[in-house]
Structure 1
Amino acid sequence: MNSFIPIELYTPFYFYSLLFIVLVTFLHTLILPLNSVKILKYIKVIGPVLLIFVILYMGLRPISGRYFGDMSTYSHYFKIYSTGAPITSTRDILFHNFTKFSSQLMTIHVYFLLCAGLYVIPLYFICKKWFNDYWFYGFLFLIGAFSFWAYGTNGIRNGIAGSFFLLGISREKRVWQILWIVLAINFHKTMLLPAVGFLLANFYNQPKRMIVFWALCIPVSLIGGGFFENFFGSIGFDDQRIHYFTEGKINNDDFRFTGFRWDFLMYSATAVFAGWYYIVKLKFKDKIYFWLYNTYLFSNAFWILVIRANFSNRFAYLSWFMIGVVLIYPLLIKEIIPRQHHRIGLVLIAYFSFTFIMNLLIN
């Protein structure tokens, strides 16, 4: 499918478009209170426009392995399944069945549009559930994440699985929580890691102690060197280790470089600090937020242990897909700090600045 935007500019156009919306939103936070009628009108207009834009722009992108990484791999799956080829993979079985089923009913371009919908639409429902009239802010934080675009255009099944997982956490009834999390795991097996973290959070919901656990993983990883990559490979991560530590890259090339990534550790630490500030300093108490925060700490701690691995972004994403809601959730649930709307804008600017710089200026 031809695009009116040159393919080499396709990704930059997305980030510049998002930058414009972020700046306009930031200006609103400077001059209007959160409960202003004008803010609600702004959300009613810009929210649906942004939702539709992201789905269509991401879903109708040109098919390219050069500019969109593993998109060429997904295209290959679709094409061989369209010829009647059987499913031979024993991993991520739901994804393969979904792709095979789609290949019999639609074109490859509609398939990628559907994938974008499965990735983005759950985020809308999550934000509507948690933040009601102010859903747009939560949605903007989620799609403004450093890894959001990459996992909608490259690590596609991982991205969809992450959205399914968050949708599960947002459900009130336990049966729906379990159903969506199981679907997430069967779409991408690595969702087992945050699923274990979520399970533990239900029985051991102690954010302060989990912060200590996360912090201890840093010196342990520094001392342990490559021990943990080999250890996790020896207990059943063999195939996944080969797959995730040697395959592909996200749209920027930051994870080509091995070693202890202090820059990405600092990025992860922003959510850790935010959770500490809300829970310990401001005494914010919310069962769902405790679940989110503890799951994030558990999953991110695992990544820290294997941080030296080549292309460990695949494990980093198992916590990073939650980072937006960890940062913004308390600020949209109740008033806990003075001039809260203004503070939301400042957090948004700082948060998206990292995304913009890493994806465009440093890339």
Structure 2
Amino acid sequence: MGLRPISGKYFGDMATYNLYFEHYGSGQSIIVTKDIFFHYFMKYSSRIMPASLFFLLCSIIYIYPLYLISKKWFKEYWYYSFLFFVCSFSFWAYGTNGIRNGIAGSIFLLGISRDKRIWQVIWIFLAINFHKSMLLPALGFLIVQFYNNPRYYIIFWLICIPLSLISGGFWENLFSNIGFDDDRLSYLTQGNINDDDFSSIGFRWDFLLYSGTAIFAGYYYIILKKYKDKIYYWLFNTYVIANAFWILIIRANFSNRFAYLSWFMIALIIAYPMLKAELFDRQHIKLSNMLILYFLFTFIMNVFLLN
């Protein structure tokens, strides 16, 4: 992933990042006011390394936290969690295209995995300044510190589906006009200017089904299996809040970019309880089968349907 060719044709935003890198490498100043940490990281990297090494470094920063998280929470079973991350539907796209977002998501999860609150705050703050969109899961994480009952969050998620179905473009227009200073919100109302099926507009039942797998997993573990774990509740409820926002604006152009604000947590939502507690007979066999199915969804979506 890190040593891939520098290409905008095959790797989307990679060409734009390369233009920024060349701009900073020529000695120019920072030209943006948002996602500022990423741009300073890019600027200082451009002084000491070529672009090819910079993208390798980005891949390391994207992937290494996933390893650290897996080791921290699951000890000798870390490789299950890490494989779930790698097999995720969005893993490749956000390591090669939405690079800032991918790095920010990994840093955000690293923050949640820290034991001390001060380190949680520092890492999440860093994630937000790598990609401002991390404000949404950060807000969700803040909310669940005060109310952490998964049952009502699941009900809220279910209510958002008919709200989105019957409201047309109401929610897209609402969120794009409430004053956030972020040009990503223009995706909510602009047309699909690129020939990009993955970014097509409309109510995405396929994406909703994918999102629903994590909701069902959380429901099954928490409600039916009576699994109790404060950290898992944090992860699951944060996911539900972020995903519910995406459901409301699901018709937006490039809605996958908003969906990723919850999707980067799906691997943990599915795997976490089975790596922390004995919930089934022959549990490792069941977990391995789940991993195969999880990969098959990614394979079918990326190789057959999207291409």
TM above 0.5, yes or no, is yes
CA change 1:170–1:244 in 2 (3 A) is: farther
Counterpart of 2:242 in structure 1 is 299
Aligned equivalents of 2:102, 2:149: Cα separation in 1: 28
CA contact (8 A) 1:249 1:256 kept: no
C-alpha separation in 1, matches of 2:242 and 2:269: 13
> Does the 8 A contact of 2:192 with 2:199 survive in 1?
no
Determine if the alignment matches structure 1 residue 354 to structure 2 residue 297: yes
SS of 1:147 mapped into structure 2: coil
For residues 201 and 224 of structure 1, what CA distance do their matches in structure 2 show?
27
Query: How far apart, CA to CA, are the structure 2 residues paired with 1:248 and 1:325?
Result: 32
Tell me the distance in 2 between the aligned counterparts of 1:93 and 1:158. Answer: 13
Question: 1:78 corresponds to which residue?
Answer: 21
Residue 256 (structure 1) shift = 3.2
Equivalent-residue separation in structure 1 for 2:70 and 2:222 (angstroms):
21
CA distance in 1, matches of 2:128, 2:44: 19
Q: 2:184 aligns with which of 240, 245, 252?
A: 240
Within the candidate set 312, 336, 340, 2:255 is matched to 312
Name the counterpart of 1:176.
119
Unaligned stretches of 5+ residues in structure 1: 1-57
Task: Give how far 1:246 is off.
Answer: 5.6
Q: How far apart are residue 249 of structure 1 and its match?
A: 10
> Following superposition of structure 1 onto structure 2, how do residues 7-46 of structure 1 map, counting pairs within 5 Å?
none
1:273 — aligned with what?
A: 216
RMSD value, Cα = 1.7
Amino acid at match of 1:101: Y
Q: More relative contact order in 1 or in 2 (CA 8 Å, sep 6+)?
A: 1
In structure 1, the partner of 2:52 is 109
Equivalence for 1:202: 145
User: Given residue 222 of structure 1, which amino acid in structure 2 is its aligned partner?
Assistant: L
Q: Is the 8 A contact 1:205 1:290 kept in 2?
A: yes
Query: Which residue is 1:216 aligned to?
Result: 159
Deviations 1:139-161 (A, max 9, x none): 00011100000000000000000
The structural deviation recorded for 1:137 is: 0.4
The alpha-carbon distance between structure 1 residues 253 and 260, as it changes in their structure 2 partners (threshold 3 A), is same
- Which of the numbers 90, 103, 118 marks the counterpart of 1:160? 103
Q: Deviations over 1:334-353 (max 9, x none)?
A: 10111111110121111111
Which of the residues 65, 71, 79 maps onto 1:128? Answer: 71
User: What's the secondary structure of 1:59's corresponding residue?
Assistant: coil
Judge conservation of contact 1:123–1:142 (CA < 8 Å) in 2. yes
Aligned in 2, Cα 1:221/1:248: closer, same or farther, shift over 3 Å? closer
**Kept in 2: contact 1:70–1:248 (CA 8 A):** no
Distance 2:243 2:51 in 1: 34
TM-score where L is the length of structure 2: 0.96
Counterpart code for 1:208: R
Residue matched to 1:344: 287
Cα deviation, residue 245, structure 1: 6.6
Q: Relative to structure 1, is the Cα distance of residues 96 and 279 closer, same or farther in structure 2, using a 3 angstrom cutoff?
A: same
Superposed CA offset, 1:280-327 (max 9, x none): 000000000000000000000000000000111110000000000000
Task: Classify 1:125/1:131 alpha carbon distance in 2 versus 1 (closer, same or farther; 3 Å).
Answer: same
Question: What is the DSSP-based 3-state SS (H/G/I as helix, E as strand, rest coil) of the residue aligned with 1:236?
Answer: coil
* Aligned counterparts of 2:98 and 2:190: Cα–Cα separation in 1: 14
Query: Which of 76, 82, 88 matches 1:145?
Result: 88
> What's the offset of the Cα at 1:240?
2.0
Is structure 2 residue 14 aligned with structure 1 residue 68?
no
Q: 1:282 to 1:207 in 2, by over 3 A?
A: same
Distance 1:247 1:137 in 2: 40
Q: Identity, % of aligned pairs?
A: 63
How many residues are matched?
A: 305
How far residue 222 of structure 1 moved from its aligned partner, in angstroms, is: 0.5
Between the aligned partners of 1:266 and 1:351, the Cα distance in structure 2 is 13
Partner of 1:326: 269
Deviation for aligned residue 1:94: 0.5
